[in-house]
A and B are shown apart, each in its own frame.
Chain A
């Protein structure tokens, strides 16, 4: 008789890095840069009741982004768009309201790489070279087409370019809502593309709240070797979700408590920004938080960056998918002495973070 193992859960990975910003071998810059598509950044600052002015200005200077409704994807191969935006780099694009486990998803990366995550029918209709997804189970139901737009074979007029353009224009009429980042060269380079469709510009949404009498793990005094990254991340999630963290052991509803040893903070500031956020803006935010910590002895700050659930890539070119969840986030805990703890987490349909 076959027994079903009910204890199994899908594979998840948590990478815990401990290093210092002053160590020249630290890879934090590349780890932040490679995470192209960021949806939400949330910052937790202890003993703060309002955002310091420098931090506020950095948050408000996060670049805005465009939403183009019902854009045919062959527009990303338009000669003018390629020359003015894609070849120059630093343009991020992602299809909006498409689910990577059900629909066709498109991502444009700043290095000029276009990634299409397609279901089997769409892939066969498109007729372009691609690979089956790494995370197919038994039968190939999803395919990934990854094209380097800066490569010589993809120059306008080249064979690869014509084949992809014909595929997207005449065979597979792929149209999605598309999020496009603001190009550093100015809006003029994107105006030609935007003028042809219904578009709107959006600013990242900033929300902040002040928490009082917050019990938090004693991060500065406890033995950091033995601290469990999972319980710290759980506490951070409970603060972000505003779940109750003071529960007696006899409580019927919940037994979630702050990890021991713990202290109480009089107040703390939680700020979150949502939208299509660029790694460069996040990098500036990290540097600003480090400057803030230099003036506050015996302090720490936490920054969590969530990736898009429906992005076809997570870090760099690594394929990303959704099995039961599409988490791909990292959480950076910074200390006054320039050391940091980096937690990177992914789900079942992801490779190991860098």
Chain B
């Protein structure tokens, strides 16, 4: 199968660019600077080699209507965290709304107003154990996680967020073998 690879490097012309077919690419390998092609910016975190795999998989298998295989890399739009809030006074209780407001205040203190606008969801909250399931856009994971790490006090008492599990799949949070208790 043939398709065309368009090569651009950061939008700026770095040399001569061609619309090539795959066979010509092999010629390119030996006559031009090879690494420029491979390191060219490409969308959605999928490199050209991965595009070959993904695209070729869909092409070959389209013939049979029954079988289809798609490999998705870094394609989850959200990341999910399981967190537990540990407070100095263990009898303190927070409601779900108070917890979310507390996390937003942490985002605001670290990243400002723009950071506080990062949307995240409180999917599940256990008030007795103070554990929560959070959902955040993948590009906001580092910001949310770092602000949880640096949140140190709640209403004048020391506190800490323990991040128990992080995953791009919510299903993975329900089957954590580290919770297996056999004693």
**What separation, in Å, do the CA atoms of A255 and B71 have in the docked complex?**
28
**Among the listed stretches B9-17, B28-36, B117-125, which one makes contact with chain A, having 4 or more residues with CB under 8 Å of it?**
B117-125
Partner of A310, one of B75, B100, B124, B178: B178
Considering the complex, which residues of chain B in the window 64-78 have a beta carbon less than 8 Å from any beta carbon of chain A? Answer: 66-78
**What separation, in Å, do the CA atoms of A242 and B68 have in the docked complex?**
31
Q: How far is the CB of A301 from chain B (nearest CB, A)?
A: 16
Indicate with 1 or 0, residue by residue over B93-134, a CB within 8 angstroms of chain A CB atoms: 000110010000000000000000001011110000000010
**Cβ A347 vs Cβ B66 within 8 A:** no
**What separation, in Å, do the CA atoms of A236 and B77 have in the docked complex?**
16
Q: Does A39 contact B (CB under 8 A)?
A: yes
Partner of B139, one of A7, A18, A230, A306: A7
Most buried by B among A96, A242, A243, A306: A243
Considering the complex, which residues of chain B in the window 14-53 have a beta carbon less than 8 Å from any beta carbon of chain A? Answer: none
Q: Does A32 contact B (CB under 8 A)?
A: no
- Residues of A in contact, count (CB < 8 Å): 59
**Cβ A16 vs Cβ B69 within 8 A:** yes
**Cβ A15 vs Cβ B174 within 8 A:** no
Chain A residues lying within 8 Å of B71, measured Cβ to Cβ, are 13-16, 352
Indicate with 1 or 0, residue by residue over A63-84, a CB within 8 angstroms of chain B CB atoms: 0000100000000000000000
Q: How far is the CB of B164 from chain A (nearest CB, A)?
A: 11
Nearest chain A residue, comparing its CB with the CB of B123 = A243
**What separation, in Å, do the CA atoms of A151 and B36 have in the docked complex?**
46
Most buried by A among B67, B121, B143, B174: B174
**What separation, in Å, do the CA atoms of A9 and B143 have in the docked complex?**
11
**Cβ A237 vs Cβ B171 within 8 A:** yes
Size bin of chain B's contact surface: 35 or more
Q: Does B3 contact A (CB under 8 A)?
A: no
Interface of A is mostly: mixed
**What separation, in Å, do the CA atoms of A233 and B72 have in the docked complex?**
13
Indicate with 1 or 0, residue by residue over A334-353, a CB within 8 angstroms of chain B CB atoms: 00000100000101000010
Chain A residues lying within 8 Å of B70, measured Cβ to Cβ, are 15-16, 229
Partner of B172, one of A13, A254, A306: A306
Indicate whether A9 sits within 8 Å of B182 (C-beta atoms), given known contacts A237-B171, A243-B123. Answer: no
**Cβ A8 vs Cβ B124 within 8 A:** no
**Cβ A6 vs Cβ B143 within 8 A:** yes
**Cβ B180 vs Cβ A274 within 8 A:** yes
Q: How far is the CB of A69 from chain B (nearest CB, A)?
A: 9
Q: How far is the CB of B54 from chain A (nearest CB, A)?
A: 11
Q: Does B177 contact A (CB under 8 A)?
A: yes
Considering the complex, which residues of chain A in the window 178-203 have a beta carbon less than 8 Å from any beta carbon of chain B? Answer: 200, 202
Indicate whether A237 sits within 8 Å of B169 (C-beta atoms), given known contacts A14-B76, A329-B175. Answer: yes
Indicate whether A202 sits within 8 Å of B139 (C-beta atoms), given known contacts A18-B68, A238-B123, A252-B97. Answer: no
**What separation, in Å, do the CA atoms of A352 and B71 have in the docked complex?**
9
**Cβ A309 vs Cβ B122 within 8 A:** no
Partner of B182, one of A11, A96, A238: A96
**What separation, in Å, do the CA atoms of A200 and B123 have in the docked complex?**
38
**Cβ A40 vs Cβ B177 within 8 A:** yes
Chain B residues lying within 8 Å of A238, measured Cβ to Cβ, are 123, 170
Chain A residues lying within 8 Å of B139, measured Cβ to Cβ, are 6-7, 9
Indicate whether A23 sits within 8 Å of B67 (C-beta atoms), given known contacts A304-B175, A310-B178, A345-B172. Answer: yes
**Cβ B75 vs Cβ A17 within 8 A:** no
Partner of A254, one of B72, B80, B123, B141: B123
Chain A residues lying within 8 Å of B143, measured Cβ to Cβ, are 6
**Cβ A230 vs Cβ B67 within 8 A:** no
Q: How far is the CB of B135 from chain A (nearest CB, A)?
A: 7
Chain B residues lying within 8 Å of A325, measured Cβ to Cβ, are 165-167, 172
Q: Does B138 contact A (CB under 8 A)?
A: yes
**Chain A interface residues (CB < 8 Å from chain B):** 6-9, 11-20, 23, 25-26, 39-40, 42, 67, 96, 99, 200, 202, 229-230, 233-234, 236-238, 240-244, 252-256, 274-275, 304, 306-310, 324-325, 327, 329, 331, 339, 345, 347, 352
**Chain B interface residues (CB < 8 Å from chain A):** 66-80, 96-97, 100, 119, 121-124, 133, 135, 138-139, 141-143, 165-178, 180, 182
* 12 more CB-based (< 8 A) A-B contacts, given A9-B74, A202-B182, A253-B97: A18-B68, A23-B66, A39-B175, A39-B180, A233-B171, A240-B174, A241-B173, A252-B97, A253-B96, A309-B178, A325-B167, A347-B167
